[in-house]
Chain A
């Protein structure tokens, strides 16, 4: 609590300085890792094949960026991730609302969700390929299947956890079902729903990259797998760096979106954890 008060009292300049310091510490640690990579790769302890130096990998990424392949592959991977993720969010929130509000939906879907959640659903990939082929439809389907579960469970918990007094007050003031849903239930459950969505997004990216690796074709995962088949380890490491950066940006972007959406909520004022 005292940290909160102190942060409020700092002058804007001091706050800016502190943020700059934190960013520098972050970047310093990443830079140290990259330098260590470069030195270790050049030391002769490992072959160029096992660990190409970072400078060579960066050169490769630059070349891909200049001829445009990098953007094409990032775009394709992001397209599959985000379409699958949005489908999972819409289906998950809809199903979660239905399960929290109607007994029939809860009876039917509850055992399916509770058994399906802990299953490694990527194992259904060959089945999905059998049904839908190896193109975008089956990749996006896999992403959706895997990402929908955390959204459903978070939505159910969030809506069931809404304060009864809020509901009673709204009812008392004459809110209809639809108004109750959009103006009370969903906003009040939003923090938990957002948490579920934040769990689902990295999963969506993992599955998108994996399906690309398994099915081939373009996209960050597919291209990386192709480099691996041609024993082009520079390409493999370039792929890893690209995927890591994309993953970081996507997750950070969603965290910022959460903060914007929940500005009205008290959690936005608390110092963030991790």
Chain B
């Protein structure tokens, strides 16, 4: 407890500095409302239900897009590592599209699927798929040949071998790729909602900002930032659990 307090004391100092600076009007309190005001705005949003009402579609879009990306990305990555023709066809495409800024696809997904959930899910799926693919590809490629040979020798079918040998040994890199995808999912969720949406947390931020209720806007901004942070920490916890079977030192 005490160690945590010392470790996170700089954040506390920053928070106090923030409060003092805006309390004494060193900067305009519209540009930087005091933390206390932001806190009460946050409680107002919570009691009126605005926050929950907008968080639900956002999290649904993020979750659905990410799940699709994990499913397809893993399958594609492993296929690329194990079947040469797949790699020959898909490899250059993955390489060409990986550096492309995915937020550029926002208008296209809107043209295809409209303003609702569909376009956001498609965007998040497209944006998150490639990091997962590359993680799965690198992981599956580094599978020890001896393990593969042993499994084949003991009569495992190709599919069985994929499931029991290749996938587990690809897991560390795959899970890292998914972590990148998780962060990207939040970024794409917020950006797409800020630019075109009728509901969702990003849309709420834009709406509050346009109305000049800056304390409430800050409250939602900080909520989204915290959600992203919390999702990453929870994921890391699961990642450690899932990799607990690995011999230490190998990871």
Task: Give the B-binding residues of A (Cβ under 8 A).
Answer: 25-27, 29-30, 32-33, 49-50, 107-112, 115, 118-127, 129-131, 202, 205-206, 208-210, 213-214, 220-221, 224-225, 227-228, 233, 236-237, 239-240, 243-244, 247-248, 250-251, 273-274
Size of the chain B interface, CB-CB below 8 angstroms: 57
* Bound: A273/B135 CA distance, A: 12
B107 A227 Cβ-Cβ under 8 A: yes
Instruction: Please indicate the chain B residues that have their CB under 8 angstroms from the CB of A121 in the complex.
Output: 225
Across the two chains, which residue of chain A brings its CB closest to B225? A119
A123 B10 Cβ-Cβ under 8 A: no
> Within 8 Å of chain A (Cβ to Cβ): is B155?
no
The 10 closest A-B pairs by CB, nearest first: A118-B232, A228-B107, A251-B99, A120-B186, A206-B101, A26-B92, A247-B99, A29-B92, A126-B209, A244-B100
Taking a contact as CB atoms closer than 8 A, the residue among B8, B95, B110 that contacts A111 in the complex is B8
Main SS at interface, chain A: helix
A127 B10 Cβ-Cβ under 8 A: no
A25 B191 Cβ-Cβ under 8 A: no
Task: Give the A-binding residues of B (Cβ under 8 A).
Answer: 7-8, 10-11, 14, 30-31, 88-93, 95-108, 110-112, 134, 137-138, 183, 186-187, 189-191, 194-195, 202, 205-206, 209, 214, 217-218, 221, 224-226, 228-229, 231-233
Main SS at interface, chain B: helix
Least CB distance from A169 to B in Å reads 27
Can you give 23 contacting A-B residue pairs, CB < 8 Å?
A29-B89, A30-B96, A107-B10, A110-B7, A111-B10, A112-B10, A123-B190, A127-B221, A202-B98, A206-B102, A206-B187, A209-B101, A209-B104, A213-B106, A213-B191, A220-B104, A221-B104, A228-B107, A236-B108, A240-B105, A243-B104, A248-B100, A273-B138
